[in-house]
Amino acid sequence: MNQLTSARILNSYRKSVANRSDSRLAKYLHNKSVVIVGPDTSLVGTGMGAKIEEEFDVVVRINTAYNFVPFKKSLVKDIGKRTDIFYMAPSQIKWISKQPDQDMIRGLKGSDCSFICYQNGHDGTEYMTGKYVYPDAKQIIKRFVMANRTAGIKTQLSSSHDSCLHLSQMLSEIKGDRIITRTGLLAVWDCLVHGARSVTLMGMSFYHGGGHLFRVVPPGKELNPLKNHLAKKSPHDSYAEVVFLAQICKLFGDRIIVTGPLSDVMKVSEEQ
């Protein structure tokens, strides 16, 4: 693995800030404390639900968490119930596109979600290839939002294309090969770019042995840092992401707070 220079990361950060096209998301996140709540099973039994609800201005969740909103009462005490922003990968958008309108909106009822941050995966951006390209994703997600508005839910769209491009380019330099960022790290970078005062990570070690709250993983198909959620070869590399996360934690200081098993994964990575 290669190490990026601080100058390289800061240059990409400044470009991302300069190029951000969504003033609504920037206004929403400005000077806010954000918590990104992943689906790691290490959260079970922690009783962190109240802290998530009460101590953070913005609660972010990713991908399949949407499919399980509203959460079961047994989970709420550990992961909270509020969701202000969903970050969705193209595969999640594809799943949504197959649902009837009434099922599409079910996930947002009671969550009071303000934004859906999506990736289009358009060929012209060159960060998605093959089965990862869903050129109709924007139309799908617009249909999704319109269905919510019809039901009286005011959810806004925000494109995370630019952040995804910058982040994937940096990860590729770390790996020495082409990599596409996973949605969790994208959420961290995108929230920083849009002015969040702090970003706290909880339950984000699920690709490093942490297990998954919302997926039944059959034996032999455990989540792997180098594979996708179906245990198939993918353009992702969670090892490279841990290296990058450790670097930006040092660079941004108290703006990034890593909790739980992921902090241990980072320490091991730094020692190697």
Question: Is the preceding peptide bond at 70 cis, omega within 30 degrees of 0?
Answer: yes
Amino acid at 228: N
Residue 173 above 50 pLDDT? yes
Residues in Cβ contact with 204 at an 8 Å cutoff, skipping those fewer than 6 apart: 36, 38, 40, 184, 210, 258, 260, 262
How confident is the model at residue 164, as a pLDDT?
Answer: 85
How confident is the model at residue 129, as a pLDDT?
Answer: 40
Highest-confidence segment of 82-86, 146-150, 164-168? 82-86
Residue 156 above 70 pLDDT? yes
For the segment 77-88, the average pLDDT, to the nearest whole number, is 93
194-246 tens-digit pLDDT:
999 999 999 988 666 667 777 766 656 566 666 666 667 777 888 899 999 99
Q: Which domains does the chain have, with CATH numbers?
A: 6-271 (3.90.1480)
Q: Are 190 and 246 in contact (CB under 8 A)?
A: no
Tell me the torsion sign for CA atoms 185, 186, 189, 194: negative
How confident is the model at residue 226, as a pLDDT?
Answer: 62
Residue 93 above 80 pLDDT? no
For the segment 2-28, the average pLDDT, to the nearest whole number, is 90
Residue 82 above 70 pLDDT? yes
108-140 tens-digit pLDDT:
665 678 898 887 554 433 444 444 445 555 566
Q: Are 187 and 60 in contact (CB under 8 A)?
A: yes
- The mean pLDDT of the chain is 81
Whole-prediction pTM value? 0.87
DSSP string, 178-210: -----HHHHHHHHHHHTT-SEEEEES--GGGTT
> Beta strand pairing status for 256-258 and 198-202?
parallel
Which one, of 243, 254, 117, lies nearest residue 187 by Cα? 117
Residues in Cβ contact with 26 at an 8 Å cutoff, skipping those fewer than 6 apart: 20, 194, 195
